[in-house]
Structure 1
């Protein structure tokens, strides 16, 4: 593609923050320390998790870069960045979460395959760009469309990014046309993150943001957008990121029996404490994040400091100085909340957090009941252990 190319090696990777925990160097997959996530409501770009499948694409000339629109539409079209920039600019605060977030904890129950993420394959950012509904209208697809005149029902996003899982082909994913053409779904073709031009790691010059859905569908480094009759048949839609029951293993798996995962379930994690902590007796502060997919707000976060015998409700917040109400227009419905509570600790204990969303969905108590061979969607109660010591720490 003019202006944008995918290198064949890792010699021209962008610089990254040295504090990131690297889970894979080539391709680069890394997450921040968990404490960084609760330092601010909006995650700084340098501490936003990096999820890649190959070398980072390079933009040679942003003015020559374009996205081609093909498939079941009346007229094939090519849009340049100036065409995208000329559309109304929208800003959406949305949390992206890798479906494999907290995979490491799931693997302790039974071995799984995938990048070994701790609890920080998640971040909350302010994304700016054109609404996909406006872009599709520009190429002749009206808002709130379920099907095009030629039978298109899905919108496929194809990256310039090449990956081994596609046998050297491009990364791709799709969402239903009804979601893509609905302005209230807030799907963006984003060119800014936290008020700045996207950096290379996060999709420069143009990426998709699909709020409330697992990060795998928010395709970076867009090459083309195709209107298709059925779901994308790419590897990451058909042979990955599907939720299987604990009874399924690599010998009896039937990929076609499950739908591609879209919305992520209700999730929370404690970020102010490690998995095992030594503290002085007295008050400690417990902080973390909670989020649910599909735009469902967080109704409450329950915290236990005695291994689940008793619970207290933590405070929830989003924007500084504003009261968070889970289903109010003033709240960012696609974004996480940060929770906080204090506890008096006098002896060794297990601290647990669990969240409930506005639909009444709650996290499962144990990881074993949701274990799956790919280690995705570990939304079990988050647990950390505290030991009490009297020496200087």
Structure 2
């Protein structure tokens, strides 16, 4: 496996970032592995098309009494026969991507110290989740619109555009993977997550019940035989080994959702970070109380990252024309792709000890160079024309002029989406190191003439 093994059991790996952004569509062997528990084995009796099924149900709740949906079980082979194969190019990204970068400016966040390669752009294939739910009897909360193709798939627009009955509801996504992270010894619990029901049913959100990636069957380590694809959302929502969905009036509270994927931020700066880490140790009542106050992380915001040069402290060669090649990826937000990437190079001052120091000291008149981008070249012209929304990443490249000098240099990159959303400059530190969307910085670079 050409990946960095961050943890062997359970399996957690990421590819080398210098290899990641060489292809618009990430090859299967470069798709990262993120697991809370053991991978469901391929030789398990139920792990095939004939035996695997997905349950579709509705919670027994007075608030759902007007939804006339009967529980049913849909075998995987029937799912494939009854629903067209739909392909969606979408970026899968772990909530902890770029976590390690926070440590240069802050207390180390909890969890695996991921680099910037816990991300993959894949052509996912499967049945439309919207189609499956509608066929099962869930009403269409967007049926009152005459042109569904124009509906914006952002969180705010999804809620405002849908029928009122659907706004407070959720769809639970259940995995066959047993959870060992439960804080309740009296229960046997499994990995699960939920998304708002309007998200699941939105015609332009392009959620899938996927059984293929890049034109081949899913492998066990990536969720075979069936997984959820929830574009624009953290990887924890893309539930693997999916064996059930349920309409509910409440959010899912599986162990990872109630104990993990939430942003716990300090009340102050460095002292506040230390205090939070001390008070919020695993199992503490303070931690449980703080977690109860927060809602789990759902959507990811715009971000970009430099993958070449791929790490701090490198010596990089300048070409004959005095240029340095810089590459990376960028992701959009709410179906609006990253369409502009800007890169700058600055000399590092001795007092700048971290990436945030570099960002905080940038001059207002800093000269930015716009990178050349590759957006949807992984799709056919017809598929591009069929939708105004994109869930794929952008790859970008730039030959950047570098003045001759013995100084140390820092590269900075930032992106803007098609709808004008700008990547945030500095993300707030949080206990678990989730959702780092800061401008990308590669520091302490030495320049060598070729």
Counterpart in the other structure of 1:84: 79
Distance 1:319 1:366, change over 3 A: closer
* Aligned counterpart in structure 2 of residue 51 of structure 1, from 10, 34, 41: 34
Q: Contact 1:213–1:293 (CA<8 Å) still a contact in 2?
A: no
Q: Which has the larger Rg?
A: 2
In the aligned structure 1, how far is the partner of 2:297 from the partner of 2:245? 20
- Structure 2 SS opposite 1:95: strand
- Structure 2 SS opposite 1:55: coil
Counterpart in the other structure of 2:151: none
Relative to its length, the structure with more helix (as a share) is 2
In the aligned structure 2, how far is the partner of 1:152 from the partner of 1:336? 30
Q: Contact 1:53–1:162 (CA<8 Å) still a contact in 2?
A: no
Counterpart in the other structure of 2:64: none
In the aligned structure 1, how far is the partner of 2:23 from the partner of 2:378? 13
* Aligned counterpart in structure 2 of residue 68 of structure 1, from 23, 40, 55: 55
In the aligned structure 2, how far is the partner of 1:242 from the partner of 1:295? 23
1:238 aligns with 2:258: yes
Counterpart in the other structure of 1:341: 398
Of residues 97-106 and 50-59 in structure 1, the stretch that sits farther from structure 2 once superposed is 50-59
Q: Contact 1:151–1:229 (CA<8 Å) still a contact in 2?
A: no
In the aligned structure 1, how far is the partner of 2:97 from the partner of 2:139? 36
Report 1:67-216 matches (<5 A).
67-72=54-59, 74-86=69-81, 87-108=83-104, 109-144=106-141, 153-166=169-182, 169-216=189-236
In the aligned structure 2, how far is the partner of 1:224 from the partner of 1:388? 54
CA positional deviation for 1:21 = 0.3
In the aligned structure 2, how far is the partner of 1:221 from the partner of 1:66? 10
Q: Contact 1:172–1:232 (CA<8 Å) still a contact in 2?
A: yes
1:303 aligns with 2:343: yes
CA positional deviation for 1:259 = 2.1
Distance 1:26 1:238, change over 3 A: same
Deviations, residues 8-38 of structure 1 (Å, cap 9, x unaligned): xxxxxxxxx1x20011110110000001221
* Aligned counterpart in structure 2 of residue 260 of structure 1, from 296, 307, 314: 296
Q: Contact 1:354–1:381 (CA<8 Å) still a contact in 2?
A: yes
In the aligned structure 2, how far is the partner of 1:150 from the partner of 1:34? 41
In the aligned structure 2, how far is the partner of 1:45 from the partner of 1:310? 38
Counterpart in the other structure of 2:324: 284
- Structure 2 SS opposite 1:51: coil
CA positional deviation for 1:137 = 1.7
Counterpart in the other structure of 1:372: 430
Deviations, residues 257-292 of structure 1 (Å, cap 9, x unaligned): 222211101110011112221023432211100002
Q: Contact 2:170–2:197 (CA<8 Å) still a contact in 1?
A: yes
* Aligned counterpart in structure 2 of residue 361 of structure 1, from 412, 418, 421: 421
Deviations, residues 315-351 of structure 1 (Å, cap 9, x unaligned): 1112449999xx9866761011001111133233111
In the aligned structure 1, how far is the partner of 2:197 from the partner of 2:134? 12
Distance 1:144 1:321, change over 3 A: closer
Report 1:297-336 matches (<5 A).
297-306=337-346, 308=362, 309-320=366-377, 333-336=390-393
Q: Contact 2:39–2:221 (CA<8 Å) still a contact in 1?
A: yes
Q: Contact 1:67–1:224 (CA<8 Å) still a contact in 2?
A: yes
What TM-score, normalized to structure 1? 0.87
Alignment: residue pair count: 370
In the aligned structure 2, how far is the partner of 1:178 from the partner of 1:262? 13
CA positional deviation for 1:83 = 1.8
Distance 1:387 1:323, change over 3 A: farther
- Structure 2 SS opposite 1:389: strand
What TM-score, normalized to structure 2? 0.76
In the aligned structure 2, how far is the partner of 1:276 from the partner of 1:382? 15
Q: Structure 1 stretches of 5 or more lacking a match?
A: 1-16
Of residues 134-143 and 189-198 in structure 1, the stretch that sits farther from structure 2 once superposed is 134-143
Q: Structure 2 stretches of 5 or more lacking a match?
A: 60-67, 143-161, 280-285, 348-361
